Structure 1
């Protein structure tokens, strides 16, 4: 049922339109009779409208009121098109506008009001046809709703990424309920759904149809089932829905039954049996996954409850066949197994040649909030981006650079917990072992502009288009040697695991590419905190520096701290790092791996002080992904 404010506004607008017509004419002209009848009808003063007819006032008033209830009409308005008078008879031509409420369609139809003089007073010649030209005595309106079932979210091959889960739908057959007001009052007490909204659904529905009123999940239904059984006329039906998410569950999103709160939030004609996405893609694509309900206005025989005629129909907006993602079930399984038991961890895998997100694994971390949208310091894994600028500036990877336990650069102090033993101290060794003191010392070899440009080539700070919240990274504006050293060491930079997986993908494929997660449909209903932007174009890397960058990444696995990431098949490239991070709540030790094997690029983040911890997770992932491929 529409709100009283909405009805008052509609009535005020219609009254303003009709006032001149009723004020300019007096009896015996039929204009006043037409105006007073229509204004009384549309404002809910049915008694006033009935007095302008030749019918029984009580019966006419009841018929007008029931017509609005049977249609669940938010408002009924009129547009007068003409008035003909022929002696003691007259005919008013008008167009009727019935707002069926919420996001339902506006029903328009043409009708005529026959009038005649009764004892010198113009009266509307009453019959049900005054309400609608096809309505007859002994008939009623009904609004038949045909909701679409929720569509699936699929992986890249079309396999569903959720399983069916049983919901419990409580409803009634209107013809079998003796006390609909009592049913709605008791449901309100149990669930909080507005009584008038529930009652309007019963009153407007076809009498023999099952009218869903409230949907429960299994847990809630178990709590209330005994009390629901006590409500006369209420029936509960099981309804399977594809709502239980497979991994990555935070990305796919969870689905729940409509609640009083979600019904108000959605603001549409949601019905019991409908479902609402709570998070992830289920929430982002809520409208596309559910489509909209089809609507029909029908007349029924009051004695037989059989349909007489279909007066109008709207098919509703169809939802999409499915939401097709870039996710790969086999790669996802490898990601899930790799992080299992690792402690708080996030793993993002992308296809290097396309930027498509293949898998998002996590344990004790949220896949959207942390893996896609997290803001973490990357430690010395970020130095591979700085190396791009350093190589352009002429840095020799074989140059000797010591890796002391302690070094101060421009007043900023850096400490290396475990210097590589038995190795020749060089730029390459510093990268391979993630030696923060060696890498920070290179700050004097690059200016701030070149450092910022290098970050931009790898998409750090770029805006891209994803249906979920995500973070491309941020490099602070710095001056001086200390500021540059902190950027190279990845201490003042903030990135997400997704943004670093794309960095690895750029090195593997030769071009940075923006991420993608959904291939169809193209446009979701973005959350309020997700800004729609045009997808950036791929950015090729410099073919002169790329081979040397790849050699540095390969050294991290063959002779450095990322050796645990080695796996059968194509060579694994990667670097690792540890970094301390104060998130405002506690101090955390983060272990990173950033690298690739073949066309699969990955970043791993977990809470650990061991620089090889993330590499071990990456190794398990590459071995698992190789088996699924």
Structure 2
């Protein structure tokens, strides 16, 4: 181990230097003794921000050596620096070691500088002969570094026709000032009753580390018209304050496609770490939905300059960051369909969702998740047992086997499979009847017995034709649907009626309805430039009888609440979940109408025919 001792400062140049070389510096060729070792020491200290250590390897260091390095970093807002050693030009008592510095400037990105360390040898030791040119070859004593930065206007999110879905407008930020709060419970109650703000969220904001008691803490942004409605109830509550904010990105109406479009807000520390060095505190960025998922595309990259100003006032541009403008993001949403879906859910108290897709392409026309104040985009990411809506898939397998819509079947009140009893909803039984009737009235026992007559893989194959177990890209995260291979005949029976381990998103069940209408399953997608669209044809000869079965649900079966809508066809679902006696149920309806396939889900809503069908009828009527 070789040790170099300088004025009481000891540097180990073996294992430590090797680690430094691996982490910070790449050296062309074999490391040389002398000036190269000193260059490694100097650049390591620079990279680590240990400016005091620089003085130990500099000959006749200026009094402000550390200050010049520190000012260089602060003026340019350098996050980090790394270095690559170049060539060594060696003479008897002098040497030059070239290096490349890669400085990461907060909010701009990487700036590369080719520079050099000049050395002088005194009494057998090599010392850095320091000038400001170490920082940049053009720098001289008294020069100052500075920077500029400009961000272009954020690009638009477009609808399926290429028209903007967003515009700039004004909002009112409603927040709190901790020291003015007299009663936390009163503040929480007012914000919850007027704006639906979860009290737990308020507590997190107030109890966050480093919160200053005299600072305004934003809670929620509202449009001026809503502010006028809630202000009389909120303004008298001590601790609640309001701030006006202009040039804010807004959708056509409050809540319009809120979970999907997302929102723009000031970048958080967490997002800064994710988005990278071209962002800086204070930037407005996408914080949810498409605004976040496509942040780099919509925002583009900033432009800027690194400048060197001489004492005379003359400025020179050392480097330009050529920014790129944001580019619009085109979605498949149609505002009129989106508005129809949102109006259909007005007044629904439980968590709910509606998704609509184009049956000919798979393009998502509307997607709604409620409640607005919950961040979960349940229409895209919630996975639920599909219940009897899965009977569309089971029926396709039966039709592919050769069964007809009017084939004779039996619907007893109960049937046992593998020791498990399967019953019909509310004890219904239709005796000996037809497939059309048991489908229209959603007879569980009939489908359990019919599924037992299928080949072992027939149900799984039908599920794959409807996109179960198929990965696809939507444009936002969505897990699709899963049909695990049944482990025994009991699981197969449960799967046939959409229970057991079968799970699907509302989005996926909308694609199931669309496939029933068109005869081909197409992966749903939200962003227009997604290139890969998995698809699969349904079995030959099954499309027409599926239409007849799904139309019968509305005209004579469990979906009669929507009988006034001409041509509407679909399937109800009442899907059990959780625990208890009786088990709670989700309310489903999937259907198609005028080239639009859709799904309605009300979580814990109860009976599909009573809860989901009226919502579906409102939506279909609006179409």
TM-score bracket, normalised by the shorter chain, equals 0.7 to 0.9
Residue number in structure 1 paired with 2:464: 456
Contact 2:26 2:85 in 1 (8 A): no
Residue number in structure 1 paired with 2:234: none
Question: Helix, strand or coil: the match of 1:468?
Answer: coil
Contact 1:405 1:416 in 2 (8 A): no
Residue number in structure 2 paired with 1:314: 321
The separation in 2 between residues aligned to 1:549 and 1:536, in whole angstroms, is 24
Residue number in structure 2 paired with 1:466: 474
Question: Helix, strand or coil: the match of 1:330?
Answer: helix
Alignment length (residue pairs): 538
Residue number in structure 1 paired with 2:361: 354
1:229-378 equivalent positions in 2, closer than 5 A = 240-242=247-249, 246-301=255-310, 308-316=315-323, 318=324, 320-344=326-350, 345-364=352-371, 369-378=377-386
Query: What do residues 31-88 of structure 1 show as CA deviations (whole Å, max 9, x unaligned)?
Result: 99988887876762343355346xxx31455434433443344236463535376x99
1:132-147 equivalent positions in 2, closer than 5 A = 132-147=136-151
Contact 1:347 1:605 in 2 (8 A): yes
TM-superposed CA distance for 1:567, in Å, is 5.3
TM-superposed CA distance for 1:575, in Å, is 2.1
Please say if 1:506 is aligned against 2:504: no
TM-superposed CA distance for 1:584, in Å, is 9.1
Stretch of structure 1 that moved more, 551-560 or 256-265: 256-265
Please say if 1:556 is aligned against 2:546: no
Contact 2:362 2:525 in 1 (8 A): yes
TM-superposed CA distance for 1:240, in Å, is 2.6
Residue number in structure 2 paired with 1:580: 576
Please say if 1:618 is aligned against 2:616: yes
Query: What do residues 357-410 of structure 1 show as CA deviations (whole Å, max 9, x unaligned)?
Result: 111123348686432232322222222211112122232432343444444455
Please say if 1:599 is aligned against 2:606: no
Question: Helix, strand or coil: the match of 2:383?
Answer: coil
Residues 104, 401 of structure 1: alpha-carbon distance in 2 compared, 3 angstrom cutoff: same
The separation in 1 between residues aligned to 2:397 and 2:368, in whole angstroms, is 32
Stretch of structure 1 that moved more, 7-16 or 428-437: 7-16
1:173-212 equivalent positions in 2, closer than 5 A = none
Please say if 1:70 is aligned against 2:78: no
The separation in 1 between residues aligned to 2:38 and 2:488, in whole angstroms, is 87
The separation in 2 between residues aligned to 1:39 and 1:579, in whole angstroms, is 63
Question: Helix, strand or coil: the match of 2:391?
Answer: helix
Residue number in structure 2 paired with 1:58: 63
The separation in 2 between residues aligned to 1:158 and 1:495, in whole angstroms, is 30
TM-score (ref. length: structure 1)? 0.72
TM-superposed CA distance for 1:538, in Å, is 1.7
The separation in 2 between residues aligned to 1:515 and 1:83, in whole angstroms, is 63
Residue number in structure 2 paired with 1:156: 160
Question: Helix, strand or coil: the match of 2:619?
Answer: helix
Please say if 1:107 is aligned against 2:103: no
Residues 470, 380 of structure 1: alpha-carbon distance in 2 compared, 3 angstrom cutoff: same
Cα RMSD after superposing both structures: 4.4
The correspondence for 1:447, drawn from 440, 455, 460, is 455
The separation in 1 between residues aligned to 2:276 and 2:337, in whole angstroms, is 39
Contact 1:46 1:65 in 2 (8 A): no
Contact 1:460 1:474 in 2 (8 A): yes
The separation in 2 between residues aligned to 1:487 and 1:125, in whole angstroms, is 79
Please say if 1:97 is aligned against 2:101: yes
The separation in 2 between residues aligned to 1:359 and 1:383, in whole angstroms, is 24
Question: Helix, strand or coil: the match of 1:461?
Answer: coil
TM-superposed CA distance for 1:511, in Å, is 0.5
Residue number in structure 1 paired with 2:87: 81
Question: Helix, strand or coil: the match of 1:519?
Answer: coil
Question: Helix, strand or coil: the match of 1:376?
Answer: coil
Question: Helix, strand or coil: the match of 1:372?
Answer: helix
Question: Helix, strand or coil: the match of 1:554?
Answer: helix
Please say if 1:540 is aligned against 2:513: no
Residues 424, 127 of structure 1: alpha-carbon distance in 2 compared, 3 angstrom cutoff: closer
TM-score (ref. length: structure 2)? 0.73
The separation in 2 between residues aligned to 1:578 and 1:487, in whole angstroms, is 14
The separation in 1 between residues aligned to 2:82 and 2:522, in whole angstroms, is 54
Question: Helix, strand or coil: the match of 2:163?
Answer: coil
Stretch of structure 1 that moved more, 549-558 or 128-137: 128-137
Residues 277, 586 of structure 1: alpha-carbon distance in 2 compared, 3 angstrom cutoff: farther
Contact 2:405 2:548 in 1 (8 A): no
Residues 449, 308 of structure 1: alpha-carbon distance in 2 compared, 3 angstrom cutoff: same
The separation in 2 between residues aligned to 1:322 and 1:23, in whole angstroms, is 56
